[in-house]
Amino acid sequence: MEKTISARIAQRMEALGLSQAALARKAGINRASVSHWLLGNNKPSGDSLIKLAAGLECSVEWLQTGIGENDRGAVGLGLDSSPLGLDSNGGTVPTPIYDVEFAAGFGADAGLESEPEYLQIPAYYYTESGVFPGDGMIVTVRGDSMERTFYNGDKLMIDKSQTKPINDAVFAFNLEGDLRVKRFFRKLDGTWKISSDNKDDPAYEDEIISPDRLQFINIIGQVVALVHRPIRRI
């Protein structure tokens, strides 16, 4: 039987001798989130997924899919170097940051043709996400349709090499001139559901995309990390 992400989390916790509280402290995440993931109530994503993989000392890819190494030491991640040719203990990677906004709402005008500036991103964002230098880019998200995962003003790292939809993953894409960030789900009938993580606002309804219409969606890449969140008043 294929293991779930919950089972893989439990497997790594047992291998490392970590309790839920110890994993939460090590990874810098909420203990309640760990409990929900283990129970299968929801799945880690975005920045939480990267932190969880780091705490479990495994790759993000293995944690999500069960494919690849489940021990970072076996592939060099988190040690002196990585298969990406980066020093994961330090150093930075120049990453293009585009002066455009991807809507977590109803869509924003496209504008990726502009010349980007470059931001020095810590190499661990690449090593932990399995993104090769040259495939990363940073954009800003606007709107509240992806709240619970991403918030207005967040800066997201996108893997431009991932241009095919993956079930239960978040993608940045261009649909009919609008730049958007949404979660993709594959349905049994071959269609795709494009969904918002904010389930509290009824305005954000799911969209069903037929295989024929999928060809008109230009997927910019998969959202793999949260790199900056503005300070908010409380």
Is residue 219 within 8 A of residue 171, CB to CB? The reply is: yes
Q: Identify whether residues 147 and 221 lie together within a single domain.
A: yes
> Is the domain of 59 the same as that of 98?
no
Residue 14 is given by DSSP the state: H
CB 158 within 8 A of CB 142: no
Say whether 186 sits in a helix, a strand or coil.
strand
Q: Are 125 and 227 in contact (CB under 8 A)?
A: yes
d(CA 31, CA 52): 11
Structure tokens at 37: 């993931």
Q: What angle do CA 145, 148, 154 make, to 5 degrees?
A: 70
Structural domain boundaries, residue 145:
92-228
Same domain, 103 and 167: yes
Q: What is the CATH number of the domain that holds 199?
A: 2.10.109.10
- Same domain membership, residue 219 and residue 124: yes
CATH code for the domain in which residue 42 is found = 1.10.260.40
Same domain? For 103 and 27 the reply is no
Per-residue pLDDT 10s for the chain (234 aa) are 457 899 999 999 998 898 998 888 877 788 899 999 999 888 888 767 877 887 787 877 788 888 765 654 333 222 233 444 444 455 777 788 886 667 665 444 455 666 778 887 888 888 888 888 788 899 888 888 898 898 888 899 999 999 999 999 999 999 888 888 999 999 999 999 999 998 888 888 899 999 888 888 999 999 999 988 887 666
pTM: 0.60
